[in-house]
Structure 1
Amino acid sequence: MDISQKKQVIQKLQDKLPLVPEPYKVIANEIGISEKELLDYIKELKNNKTLRRIGAVLNHRSVGFLANAMVVWYVPAERIKEVTDIMVSFPQVSHCYERELLNNWRYNIYTMIHSDSFDLCDNTIKKISQMTHIDNYEVLYSTKELKKSSMKYFLDEDNKNPC
């Protein structure tokens, strides 16, 4: 695969995947390579840590999730695995991350919780707190969606990212 085709792979992967049973075959055909070549190159990008993941973005508001809360928790280091296993068992939790403690921000676990109402979201947070016995947390509700896009690479001159 030449450098031009490699750039095309990256351009195609940062766009929406075709909604067909074999999206990688469609992408490979558009680039002029085999599906195997495409998948081998994706594996290479993954193995050398150039590509972290390929993921889907759900427009949560359009599917009915009107209440979205980032909940930050302080969890003692020795309980992180136990507590986060409980947190991620809730279907309302879409993300759960561990972060380093900071001097002026003493929370190390971040969860994103989605629900169709603020009351249901609050109930989920209370249940998580009760089940984990963690009551040191703060709730940060989303009020406006400011950005929902990723960085784009190898764009043509007309579609460059602003810097």
Structure 2
Amino acid sequence: MDDIDEKIIKMTQNGIPLKRSPFADIAGELGITEQEIIDRLKKMKEEEVIRRFGASIGHRDIGIVANAMCVWNVPDERTEEVGTIMAGFPEVTHCYERPRAPGWDYNLFTMVHSYTREDCEEVASRISEATSIKDYKLLFSDREFKKTGVRL
């Protein structure tokens, strides 16, 4: 990755304009062609410098307002197995293992987004059935203060 690659990442990480030539302004500013920007982005993706280049949907804007962090108390010896099952549910957008803390028995965390709280509860129930994990809680979001991806 060189200085131009870094500038391309910084100039695109907050979005690109929805127009026929979305890289034209960036190309002009960097003194390169739009095709070179596209080629560089493809190369960075192939080399896994960036994982993906895509659109983000504002889920709240389209009515997906029930967001639940499901916390699970999974026996340590089953973490890999259960985490793989949980991550396989299409409704799960994030699945993490985290260390337990004093007074906090939960070590697996899944994020579920839906239109209603009841939908999230139903997904959690199906996950519980699929994994035989009965000790879990749903923590629903009340308000979103900030949400961004990693920035360079």
Same fold (TM over 0.5): yes
Normalising by structure 1, what TM-score? 0.70
Partner secondary structure for residue 110 of structure 2? strand
The one-letter code sitting in structure 2 at the alignment partner of 1:9 is: I
Aligned length: 147
In 2, distance between residues paired with 1:29 and 1:64?
36
Q: Secondary structure at the match of 1:129?
A: helix
Q: Give the conservation status (yes or no) of the 8 Å contact 1:75–1:107.
A: yes
The 1-side partners of 2:73 and 2:62 are apart by 31
Q: Write the mapping of 1:81-100 to structure 2, written as runs, cut at 5 A.
A: 81-100=80-99
Q: Give the C-alpha shift of residue 129 in structure 1.
A: 0.8
Matched with 1:144 is: 143
Residue identity matched to 2:94: H
What amino acid does structure 1 have at the position aligned with 2:126?
Answer: K
1:128 aligned residue: 127
The Cα shift of 1:79 comes to 1.4
| Partner of residue 105, structure 1 | 104
5+ residue gaps, structure 1, are 154-163
Match of 2:27 among 26, 29, 34: 29
Quick one: which amino acid aligns to residue 74 of structure 1? N
RMSD: 3.2
Distance of 2:20 and 2:81 partners within structure 1: 38
Task: Name the amino acid aligned to 2:119.
Answer: L
| Aligned 8 A contact 1:12 1:27 in 2 | no
Matched to 2:123, the amino acid is T
- CA distance in 1 between partners of 2:51 and 2:41 (Å): 16
Asked if 1 retains the 8 angstrom alpha-carbon contact of 2:73 and 2:133, the reply is yes
1:32–1:40 CA distance, 2 compared to 1 (3 A): farther
Q: CA deviation at 1:74?
A: 1.4
* Structure 2: 5+ residue stretches without partners: none
Q: How does the TM-score come out when normalised to structure 2?
A: 0.74
The question of 1:63 aligning with 2:62 is answered yes
**How far apart, CA to CA, are the structure 1 residues paired with 2:149 and 2:61?**
19
1:72 is aligned to 2:71: yes
> Per the alignment, do residues 116 and 102 of structure 1 end up closer, same or farther by CA in structure 2, a change over 3 Å counting?
same
